[in-house]
């Protein structure tokens, strides 16, 4: 991933040094296991542990000759270890090392993402509580529907992120698996004890069964959990972008005193961070599709998945880490124009209370169809004549024959629409 969208902690996990360090850990623990089985002399194990080291540039140099990264890695280790290097990688195949090391990288990156989500959820919870009773209009089909509160939007996002948190926790468990079972998964040249020992030391579970590789449905679940989380962020960011429309103006991204919005129009204050989130989410979804394609391999293994994974796994984890942190900043500094929310709520002149009026007429004995037609007629008349809906109702003989002025007045009480806000907050754990 390009530096612009990368944060140091996540990027470090996917560096070449980190990758080779994890591969070395796999090799060393496998040697320990083999020594416990009496396959490697203790003195040789001591020398391997003491002298094993690698140099990334030297590995690259060897790979240019061998065209095989694991062989280049083993050869570089051998150069440093000496004669006892003959015991390194004994009975293993390349993917025993590569896949197990990759699982550690995914596990560590998932830990960062889980931590990010928890932080974002805390921010969303705080914003929800602050705006628990901040009235605004709810919209369906982009049209005024019924009154709600801005806090309810934030609770909705908090609840969705809690599901994303659980998805990533499950994905972490699914990918926290290693394998050291040989060329086609039969343990022909390696004792299963080596796999069990090495995986335990690395904080992984041993796969119940594998071929030459770990099966890629695991990796696909991981990348798809990331893509779903990114899509949630895009959903939230898109709502903020919509609410920042000049004609709506209910929320606004923070805009610093030195920030510029347009090279041609000095007045512009654009929701660029939310737009960035929306764009990057597309990459996560595209990567998710690639991860699904990677599930299908020929026989016990080919390497059509390998080249793609070298891109999509680092890029997806690095991107989501960046997006989560950037969205934390967006929510933390989001400007909420409560006065504009109230102004917009009143723009439809009270017709948004038509649903309650419908129910009141039904309660008075009208059939639902009669009540619906009566309310719709009054609402359309009010809109056509530019009247307040309450005013139209008070002058409507059909409605006044059923409802008193006091009853009509009560229909326009905002408290009716937010009476269950506390209950919703409790259900969401906010």
Catalytic residue check, 337: no
Please, are residues 251 and 157 in contact by the beta-carbon 8 Å criterion?
Answer: no
- The beta-strand segments (E) located in 189-313 are 205-206, 251-252
Contacts 24+ apart (CB under 8 A), 361-368: 361/399, 361/402, 361/403, 364/402, 364/403, 365/402, 366/402
Whole-angstrom distance, CA of residue 142 vs CA of residue 156: 18
Looking at the DSSP bridge assignments, the partners of residue 149 are 135
Residue position matching structure tokens 């919703």: 424
Please, are residues 288 and 223 in contact by the beta-carbon 8 Å criterion?
Answer: yes
The CA-based angle 342-354-250, given to 5 degrees, is 20
Helix (H) or strand (E) holding 178, with range, is strand 177-178
Please, are residues 112 and 101 in contact by the beta-carbon 8 Å criterion?
Answer: no
Task: Kindly state the DSSP code that residue 148 receives in the 8-state scheme.
Answer: E
Active-site residue, from 141, 256, 263, 299: 141
Active-site residue, from 15, 68, 262, 332: 262
What token pair was written down for 378?
Answer: 């009054």
Q: 53: phi > 0 → left, psi -120 to 50 → alpha, else beta; which?
A: beta
Catalytic residue check, 262: yes
Catalytic residues: 141, 262
């Amino acid at each position: 991933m390009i530096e612009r969208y990368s944060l140091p902690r996540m990027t470090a996990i996917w560096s070449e040094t980190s990758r080779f360090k994890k591969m070395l850990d796999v090799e060393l623990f496998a040697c320990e296991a083999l020594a416990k089985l009496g396959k490697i002399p203790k003195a040789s194990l001591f020398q391997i542990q003491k002298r094993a080291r690698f140099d990334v540039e030297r590995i690259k140099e060897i790979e240019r000759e061998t065209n095989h990264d694991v062989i280049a890695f083993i050869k570089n280790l051998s150069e440093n270890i000496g004669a006892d290097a003959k015991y390194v990688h004994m009975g293993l195949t390349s993917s025993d090392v590569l896949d197990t090391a990759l699982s550690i990288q995914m596990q560590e990156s998932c830990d960062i993402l889980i931590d990010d989500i928890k932080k974002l959820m805390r921010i969303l919870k705080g914003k929800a509580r602050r705006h628990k009773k901040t009235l605004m209009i709810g919209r369906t089909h982009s049209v005024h529907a019924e009154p709600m509160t801005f806090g309810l939007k934030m609770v909705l996002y908090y609840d969705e992120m809690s599901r994303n948190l659980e998805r990533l926790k499950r994905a972490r468990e699914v990918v926290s698996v290693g394998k050291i079972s040989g060329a086609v998964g039969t343990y022909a040249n390696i004792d299963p004890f080596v796999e069990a020992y090495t995986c335990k030391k690395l904080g992984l579970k041993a796969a119940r069964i594998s071929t030459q590789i770990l099966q890629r449905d695991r990796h696909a679940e991981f990348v798809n959990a990331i893509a779903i989380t990114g899509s949630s962020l895009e959903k939230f960011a898109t709502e903020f972008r919509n609410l920042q429309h000049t004609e709506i103006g209910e929320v606004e991204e923070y805009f610093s005193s030195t920030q510029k919005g347009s090279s041609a129009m000095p007045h512009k204050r654009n929701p660029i961070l939310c737009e960035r989130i929306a764009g990057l989410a597309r990459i996560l979804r595209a990567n998710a599709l690639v991860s699904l394609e990677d599930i299908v391999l020929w026989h016990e293994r080919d390497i059509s998945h390998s080249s793609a994974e070298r891109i999509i796994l680092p890029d997806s984890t690095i991107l989501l880490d960046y997006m989560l942190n950037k969205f934390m900043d967006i929510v933390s500094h989001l400007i909420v124009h409560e006065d504009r929310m109230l102004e917009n709520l009143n723009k439809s002149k009270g017709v948004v209370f038509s649903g309650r009026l419908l129910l009141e007429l039904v309660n008075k004995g009208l059939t639902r169809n009669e009540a619906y037609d009566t309310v719709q007629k009054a609402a359309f008349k009010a809109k056509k004549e530019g009247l307040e809906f309450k005013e139209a109702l008070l002058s409507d003989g059909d409605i006044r024959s059923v409802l008193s002025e006091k009853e009509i007045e009560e229909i326009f009480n905002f408290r009716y629409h937010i009476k269950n806000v506390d209950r919703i907050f409790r259900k969401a754990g906010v």
